[in-house]
Structure 1
Amino acid sequence: MPRPPHLGLSLSAHCAMVSRSSTLVDDKSCVPQGWLLHVHPQGWVYFTNPSLRVVTDQDVRLQEVQEILEKVSQPPPNDVPEVEMHLQVAKELSSAAADSDGHGGALSLAINHAHCIASYNLEDVMQPDALRTDLRTLNRRQRLYWNFLWNHPSHKPLPLRAINDARDAIVWYITDNLISGQRSVVPFSKSECEDLAKVLSQLSEPCYDNSSARTVFVAWLLREVCSFRDSVHFGTYTHKQLDALRNESKHVSSSTSRPHPILLPLVNLVIRIFFFGIPLIYLSHVRKSSEYRGRLANIQQNWENYIQRLVREYAHFLLISTVLLSATVGFLSVGDIFQPAKTAAIVSTLASLGSIIVAVVAIWRHQASTRTADSFTYMYNAQHNYLGYHGHAILLSLPPVLLVWAVAAFTVSVLAYAAQDFDASNRSSVWTVFSLFLVFLFLVFIALYTFSSLWRFQRHSYSRSSIISIRSPGSLFARFRSKSRPNNVIGTV
């Protein structure tokens, strides 16, 4: 894209161009003597004064603005020709002109195009050793420069070093994506980096040398690079210091999501006894979804996975609660049921209804909030309530917990119904029912314990050979004989 042709036009040409697109009256539409009009690729205009070496976004076609700008403008020293000043908004300039008596340095951004740095202090960019400063300060000055060039690309060519700096950053981002994978914190994904690298390769061709659009693209990319470096404390800490700082921030974040230390033991007791430890599962889900791993683009995917998992689980609980509710209502329709069995059945009905209501509302609310902004609001409110993530996990676990209580109450009602006719005639059948209940209860507890510990790595003190010997009766007998020998000589199994 060639540079806009208006840069070399005469004053009359400027007037004609402005009059076609401006809503100002005719007597204020011409660019004053000494000022040049430049058009950003997005369509808006800004002005420069080569003699004063001033850049401004204010409309110098207005007489009062022109007078204020010329009054507060102070050209940089001539010994550094690549330095120019960017003046701020006209209202502030007007007050500065009245208060500072013509010195508007506090409202000016000094730009050094030779070193690609900018600062609100002119001395910072005028010094011969302006680049000899700490990397964090230098990075911030470079960010100011690229941000300025992003908004004012049409009056200066792109610095020669810009393309190479952008390529170097993209190469590192691709490398970090390959090394870190989803935990990469660089601002662009691997596919985005590949697209950016292709564009940079095309923009290196000579036909784009005078393109203001190229200047906008490269300046935007380098501004993002500088912003990312500032966020990761680029050039400030050693490797160990940076790891310690990140671990400290993670510890602070995890501590703020917990209830008060005095309440934490009580909350854990309630979770493990009355809620059967189910909130601990949802606590891990919430923490995993709220953790910042890699770039911000991964947050949306984590949030969607979190929503899908909750909706899927709640749908299953909703189905089971509905079936249990219908079974309990049918059980209550029995005519000769005694009060203990009826009370337990009513408790089961209420628990099933509570599970259904909470599950329906949770599915409706979670499915309606799938944006990234919703995830930030959700996690912030969940983290900063009185009980932190523990309290939120308790609320999330209500559908399965109420379902468990409903199943337990329904079981009690059935046992009470079976025991209400306990007499000499049917004593054997009642004992048979209770015996089978104990057997089934034992098997259920064994299954629950196995499934709760199956996905956790456990260290065992015995070796693989001892496992084989326990499972095989013959090897167990051989092991017993070997241990009964003198000197405790263990034979080969």
Structure 2
Amino acid sequence: MTTGLSEPVVNTGIKYESNSPIAVYSFDNAYINLNHSREGLPMGWTMYIHPRGWVYFRNSEYNVIVDEDIRAPVMLFRFMNCPILETFSTLPDGVEASFLNLSGSYFHLFVDHNQCTADYGATYNPQTVFKSTSMLRRRELYWNFVQQHPTHIPFPERGSQEAVDAIKLYYWDNLSMGTRSIVPFSKIECEELLRALDTPKGIQPNANMTSSTVLVAWILREVYSFRKADRFGTSTYRQMDDFHQSPVKNTHRVPRTSLLSRILLGILMNILCFGIPQTYLENVSSASEFRGRLSNLQQSWEKYTQELTQEYSDFILISTVLLSIPARSPSATMALLSVNDVYQAARVCAIMSSITALGSITLGAFMVWRHRRNMGVSPSLTFAYMHNARGRALGLPGHAILLSLPAVLLVWSLVGFTGAILAYALQNIASGTLVDVSWTWFLVGVFLLVLLFVTIGIHSFSVMWKWS
């Protein structure tokens, strides 16, 4: 096995003796090996045991691997009556066929251990020239076959070297790309796999290391599957970079709706909700963006959930200050409502402030409970959340509006409280003395000045993290 597609492939050395159905192994014959058995089987058959416990069968006369239980007479009869069975006996050394189905139809795979390839077909043609993309698929099929049938072949030393080389590349990719890495193994997984593939000194790989064969085959199956999806060996550097960047550029869009619905959605998000849902939309879109590895997506989503629950906790605290009624020091809103001669406008604004603060507390507490309750759950539940958020009528924008409700209600509570204070300050402007009116207009000027500073601060830090 080699790491480059253009290099010659070294024969894996699988040969079978003329009168023996098992590979030529080099281990002590005095040791009773439980990996294979001929007991109770027809002539020419050997049963091999996978490290996980299931069995498969090999016929040395026809160079055929069978997954069905040929100990059952009906299965053996179907095998012996295969119309193309005789053609398999002429396969060259290192090549065998794998029957995947003996029930109703004959479905087989040609496995070439010399080239480390496998493919489906009616006949085997060693002269076929494959394209690089086709070779990647055949290598993936081959290592998938080895993973399922590791016991009758020797340990693939060159395959082990290629697996180590590929994992080192993925380790470097994780170091250089960070969370933007799309390789199939994370940095921690690469470290663990390198330790698992490291053979201790003094121990030589041999044909009895079936579990090691399974590990190498599984790694290389993932490697070639990723290379096939990643257009390995077909694109230039710039083309490959554009291909990797394309999923990131595809931002989520609102599902097709009518013009009236889009206008109402814009009014709701940018006016009634003060543009707050836009921030939540950006955050939830970034947290739910798939960048090539599910583990990264899960970590990103859990981090976002932690930040979200912390925000809700802060909103609950502020809303409680506006609404709470301690025994000796009533809250600001309730203190204003307790004034006897307050005008109706101030009273209405104060009541509105209390109601919206209560809504912010209630909704915020519920969202904190639900999100914390579902932190650290299985990835399937996390992906169900993302699917439901994107699949609703308004998609992620509608979900962002729901997420922003505790903050929006808190802002409306502050607006109501500000309106109540302003209405209370202006209630004597028509009937008060000249001094009272002067002080009232002074308060109005202070209010407008503070409002200007607050507006400038909010706008400045709203765009501070954006390129202008």
TM range (shorter): 0.7 to 0.9
Q: Aligned ranges for residues 313-324 of structure 1 at < 5 Å? A: 313-324=311-322
2:394 matches 1:382:
no
Deviations 1:287-332 (A, max 9, x none): 2112223532211220111001100000000111122123323432
Residues 278, 397 of structure 1: 8 Å contact kept: yes
Given candidates 351, 354, 357, the residue that maps to 1:346 is 351
2:417 maps to a residue whose letter is F
Q: Aligned ranges for residues 21-60 of structure 1 at < 5 Å? A: 30-60=40-70
Q: Structure 1 CA distance, aligned partners of 2:258 and 2:157?
A: 58
Partner of 1:84, secondary structure, is strand
Deviations 1:113-151 (A, max 9, x none): 11111112144xx32334x31122111111111111111
Residues 203, 214 of structure 1: 8 Å contact kept: no
For residue 265 of structure 1, report the CA deviation from its aligned partner. Answer: 5.4
For residue 153 of structure 1, report the CA deviation from its aligned partner. Answer: 0.8
2:413 matches 1:406:
yes
Task: Tell me the residue number matched to 2:340.
Answer: 335
Task: Tell me the residue number matched to 2:132.
Answer: 135
Q: Structure 2 CA distance, aligned partners of 1:255 and 1:408?
A: 32
2:366 matches 1:366:
no
2:103 maps to a residue whose letter is S
Q: Unpaired runs of 5+ in structure 1?
A: 15-29, 97-103, 459-493
Stretch deviating more after TM superposition (167-176 or 317-326): 167-176
Task: Tell me the residue number matched to 1:276.
Answer: 274
Residues 352, 402 of structure 1: 8 Å contact kept: yes
Task: Tell me the residue number matched to 1:99.
Answer: none
Given candidates 81, 94, 115, the residue that maps to 2:103 is 94
1:453 maps to a residue whose letter is V
Residues 4, 154 of structure 1: 8 Å contact kept: no
Given candidates 289, 294, 297, the residue that maps to 1:291 is 289
Q: Aligned ranges for residues 161-200 of structure 1 at < 5 Å? A: 161-200=158-197
Q: Structure 1 CA distance, aligned partners of 2:407 and 2:69?
A: 65
Q: Structure 2 CA distance, aligned partners of 1:265 and 1:242?
A: 39
Question: Structure 1 residues 342 and 333 mapped into 2: Cα distance closer, same or farther (>3 Å)?
Answer: same
For residue 164 of structure 1, report the CA deviation from its aligned partner. Answer: 2.4
Q: Structure 2 CA distance, aligned partners of 1:266 and 1:60?
A: 68
Question: Structure 1 residues 108 and 68 mapped into 2: Cα distance closer, same or farther (>3 Å)?
Answer: same
Question: Structure 1 residues 54 and 367 mapped into 2: Cα distance closer, same or farther (>3 Å)?
Answer: same
Deviations 1:48-70 (A, max 9, x none): 11112221222222222221222
2:15 matches 1:5:
no
Task: Tell me the residue number matched to 2:11.
Answer: none
Residues 252, 285 of structure 2: 8 Å contact kept: no
For residue 204 of structure 1, report the CA deviation from its aligned partner. Answer: 8.9
Partner of 1:111, secondary structure, is strand
For residue 264 of structure 1, report the CA deviation from its aligned partner. Answer: 4.4
Question: Which one has a bigger Cα radius of gyration?
Answer: 1
Partner of 2:48, secondary structure, is strand
Q: Structure 2 CA distance, aligned partners of 1:415 and 1:220?
A: 71
For residue 268 of structure 1, report the CA deviation from its aligned partner. Answer: 3.4
Q: Structure 1 CA distance, aligned partners of 2:80 and 2:299?
A: 53
Given candidates 91, 97, 103, the residue that maps to 1:85 is 97
Q: Structure 1 CA distance, aligned partners of 2:200 and 2:222?
A: 18
For residue 179 of structure 1, report the CA deviation from its aligned partner. Answer: 2.6
Q: Structure 2 CA distance, aligned partners of 1:289 and 1:238?
A: 30
Deviations 1:410-431 (A, max 9, x none): 1111222232233233333433
2:273 maps to a residue whose letter is F
Residues 157, 205 of structure 2: 8 Å contact kept: no
Residues 347, 409 of structure 1: 8 Å contact kept: yes
Q: Structure 1 CA distance, aligned partners of 2:201 and 2:62?
A: 32
Question: Structure 1 residues 345 and 122 mapped into 2: Cα distance closer, same or farther (>3 Å)?
Answer: same
Deviations 1:425-456 (A, max 9, x none): 33334333323222222222232233223334
For residue 8 of structure 1, report the CA deviation from its aligned partner. Answer: 6.9
- Normalised TM-score (structure 2): 0.83
2:144 maps to a residue whose letter is N
Q: Unpaired runs of 5+ in structure 2?
A: 1-26, 325-330
Given candidates 215, 218, 237, the residue that maps to 2:216 is 218
Deviations 1:25-54 (A, max 9, x none): xxxxx3233221111111222211111222
For residue 390 of structure 1, report the CA deviation from its aligned partner. Answer: 1.8
Given candidates 432, 435, 439, the residue that maps to 1:424 is 432
Q: Structure 2 CA distance, aligned partners of 1:411 and 1:4?
A: 87
Q: Percent identity?
A: 39
For residue 256 of structure 1, report the CA deviation from its aligned partner. Answer: 3.9
Q: Structure 2 CA distance, aligned partners of 1:4 and 1:389?
A: 62
1:86 maps to a residue whose letter is S
For residue 248 of structure 1, report the CA deviation from its aligned partner. Answer: 4.6
Q: Structure 2 CA distance, aligned partners of 1:410 and 1:182?
A: 44
For residue 193 of structure 1, report the CA deviation from its aligned partner. Answer: 2.1
Q: Structure 2 CA distance, aligned partners of 1:411 and 1:439?
A: 14
1:337 maps to a residue whose letter is V
1:117 maps to a residue whose letter is T
For residue 209 of structure 1, report the CA deviation from its aligned partner. Answer: 1.1
Question: Structure 1 residues 338 and 112 mapped into 2: Cα distance closer, same or farther (>3 Å)?
Answer: same
Question: Structure 1 residues 46 and 396 mapped into 2: Cα distance closer, same or farther (>3 Å)?
Answer: same
For residue 206 of structure 1, report the CA deviation from its aligned partner. Answer: 5.2
Q: Structure 1 CA distance, aligned partners of 2:167 and 2:432?
A: 86
